[in-house]
Chain A
Amino acid sequence: MSFKRMWALFVARNFEFIRDRAGFGWNILFPFLIVAGFGVIFSSDSRSEFKLGVFPVKQDSMTVNELKIPEKLKTYDHIKIVPFETHDEAMDKLLHHKIDILLENKGPKLRYWINNSSPKGYVLEKVVKESIIPEEMFASRVIKQQIKGAQVRYIDWLFPGILGMNIMFSSLFGVGYVIVRYRRSGVLKRLKATPVTAFEYLTAQLVSRVLILLATSSLVWFGCDLFFSFQMQGSYFDAFVIFLAGSICLVSLGLIIACRGTNEELTNGAINFICWPMMFLSEVWFSIEGASAWVKSIANALPLTHFLSAVRKIINDGATLSEVSSEITILLVMSLAFLCIGSLLFSWTK
């Protein structure tokens, strides 16, 4: 093993990344697009979880207060009221799940429509029915309790997931896809004709990509923090260690994808095949709490699950490294396994 050769390959790969203006620009731009996306998603008007359609409403001439629907409905958070001029127009939106329930703007009897295949419609139907019951009816029957301690905002829970997703895509495409392209074009074959070993080459690629990932993730973090003031409960050093372990693990997974083959389209498909289950099962966007055991078993086999679990424990709950030691161990074991498999199966040529 030669550190001189690894350093030369590491420097060369970094030059490749920085000088590829299109690729580099996208890697810089993408984090800011995520920030902008957050801005739109979490602006007050677009945070509504449910969409309630009302018809007939003359556009631009009627305010929400003038609508003949239960008054309580007009005050609920997370419900966006969408007016329609005609029944047909509104019904079309309901059929296509663009609204969750449709109410007629005509008193005194409340007429409504829901799409029976819509879970949100089902829930909103209960909410609409509840809205016609006076608030006093609940007073003697329910008692609202306050949560003790700091409440985790949804954005604080979601943000580590977004960062993890960004690292996952960048690892798999930035390593897996690029190495397959180098193999197809003969770059790897030229390197094989030198004393460079597969281990030296793969290590240089891994270190270079991990460095790039940590730099771009830091950029996203601080960019988003300017807008949303994240609640960081744990230590930044602990978070850095987890991001480092997670990045190494995901880049190592990318090396398995890159170990063989010259077909970029097939590689693209393989990467998507791995990314999409991780996006849904590793709790990037939503929790899988309550999902069936076999779904959770699959999720536990995915590196992103353990990465995000550890990151959220540190960022949201203030956990220390010792409290996420099981996740770190799993990530390191997975990294080692991926690296061994990737190195053993690695081929320089077609």
Chain B
Amino acid sequence: MSKLPNAQTLAKSINYAFPSASWMDVKPVFNPGSFCYPAKEETMAGLGMPHPHTWNPAEEDWNLPENWEEIMYNTLVDKLEKFRSFKVFMDICVRCGACADKCHFFLGTGDPKNMPVLRAELIRSVYRRDFTTAGKLLGKLAGARKLDKNVIKEWFYYFYQCTECRRCSLYCPYGIDTAEITMVARAMLHEVGLGTHWIMDPVSNCNRTGNHLGIQPHAFKEIVEFLCEDIETVTGIKINPPFNEKGHEILFITPSGDVFADPGIYTFMGYLMLFHELGLDYTLSTYASEGGNFGSFVSANMMKKLNAKMYAEAERLGVKWILGGECGHMWRVITQYMETMNGPTPSNMSVPKSPITGTVFHNAAATKMVHITEFTADLIKHNKITLDPSRNDHRIVTFHDSCNPARGMGLLDEPRYVLKAACNNFVEMPENTIREQTFCCGGGSGLNTEEIMELRMRGALPRGNALRYVQERHGVNTMACICAIDRATLPPLADYWAPGVTVTGTHELVANALVMKGEIKRTMDLRQDDLPDAEE
């Protein structure tokens, strides 16, 4: 990893002037820090991915399979035949440029190929040559070019500088969605054995152990029990969450990052405390112990393969519905793919109904899976939990909308409703950076890896800058989110662009405010930091 310049230097280094040469003649340079490490051969082989091989992006020869041209062509045909979105998006762009400055990676790098329109042209140009008459006849004049090994390198470079956040798609007059294009490009690269370590390793883990982090069942239980000890330290209440138990009403699934990594663990503790206080009839599962889905960054089939465990486990355990934790891309998969891929739901499942308030979640009638902030907002509305928001009074809180719940689901007001009940001081970031216009954390879609930290910090500039703005203007010291990847990527973002801001999950703040039956007087928050008025 190359050394990260400081924020001022990095911002000054952004050069929005474009090269004078045509973009087709400019090749990316694979400097350390500009690309993700390649997936290991045995990982790819273990998952049955095609053409697993050892290669290094920094080297000239990527050891592509001999018939790579044929593979790429056939895959492109296959995607055009299977996805109307992709086919239409290949044809209808008018290059109006409305998307150009909507991409956080363009704003943070100034690289023209990070403009969504040009990112798409990287693949459109190849499409034109093979599938349009003008492209065949006029070549470069029609914006067409032949797919060669340099183009493949360019694809690897730039389609792993897209976090599939879909911000550009919101502004496009035809709804052209770069995420769709990136998904196809990545799927094509995977067909010739090119994948990244940071994505394929979690996929492999998730397949076998049930979660991205590769936590084995006994260890999963131990970690959760360890978190329960911390809960007891803070609240005096001992919680014994059920694991893999049959006959409960609800299966709770959340990203494994929440079980494993700071600060996600505090959010996980928050879930457990809430469920305990409600007396909720639920179980955790070590088999379906991953809400996230790195398979969705590989291909539709891999997404399906990993996601299939949720309904399979719901069927085995005989639950009525699934409650899902705070996660971004998990909820895009659940909202827009799950029921189509792995439905219909098992016969033991029914339309989710809150056992506490009686609210029926008709909006989840098909997937039978409810978002935790929908569930909690409903509890708060019906006064079913007691919150003491003054416990969060030392926090001035803002909220980061994750890209996927915002633009792939429309979950915007539920978390805000919850946060405003749990905290007295809530401030929004500027309107062009929140809700459906929200900016990526810079590490979505499997880019939250250390070796590209500078790139991530560049992509994080718009979000970090908006955070800095409310930090300076309103004294914001806490950024809440509803995404496990955010909980991993926003702390370095905040340290870099807005030092002094703490990143929390939404249910961490809920649990800090939650008044529990039989609890001791709270002197600490879940992080075991003293509450300001603890001495009184």
Interaction A to B: no
Write the residues of chain B forming the contact surface with A, with a CB cutoff of 8 angstroms: none
User: Could you list which residues of chain A lie within 8 angstroms of chain B, going by C-beta atoms?
Assistant: none
